[in-house]
Amino acid sequence: MKIESIQKEQQGYILCRPDDHPLRTEQDVLDLISVCFEHNSYKLLLHEGTLSDEFYNLRTGLAGTALQKLINYHIKAAAVIRTEETTQGRFKELLTELNKGEDFRVFVSETEALAWLLG
C-alpha cells in the first residue's frame, strides 16, 4: 500500500492507498501502526484496495486482530469501501457494530470519512 502523511485542518493523519501489497498479515498491521507512531499521527484513512481478501473473510481473524490492535494503540481509523461484495454477510454485521463506535468506521466516500476522522 502507498502510505502518505497528510496535514489537513491543522490535524495529521495517515492515508493508505492501494498498490500491490494490501494488509494481509498481522505484521502488516503492526508495520502500519509503526508508521502512525513515526509520524506522531493517531488517525488513519484506509482505501478499499488496502484491505486484502483475508481482511474481509472473518474466518482468517485478520480483521479482528487489526481492529483490536488499532484500538489498543488508540488509532482512530476510517475505511472507504464502495464495493458491495465486500460488505455482505458476517463482515457486514461487523461493520454495523463498528459504525456505532468511535474507533473504526466505514464510509463510501473519502469526504465523509475525513469529516468523521478529523471531526
Residue 98: the pLDDT is: 87
The string of pLDDT tens digits covering residues 66-109 is: 999 999 999 999 999 988 766 678 888 888 888 888 999 999 99
Residues paired with 7 in a beta bridge: 12
The pTM of the full predicted model, rounded to 2 decimals, is 0.90
Q: Which of 26, 1, 19, 17 is nearest to 79 (CA)?
A: 17
Q: Taking the chain, what is the end-to-end CA distance rounded to the nearest angstrom?
A: 25
Show the domains of the chain with their CATH numbers.
Answer: 2-118 (3.30.750)
Exposed (0-12), middle (13-18) or buried (19+): which is 108, by Cβ within 10 Å?
middle
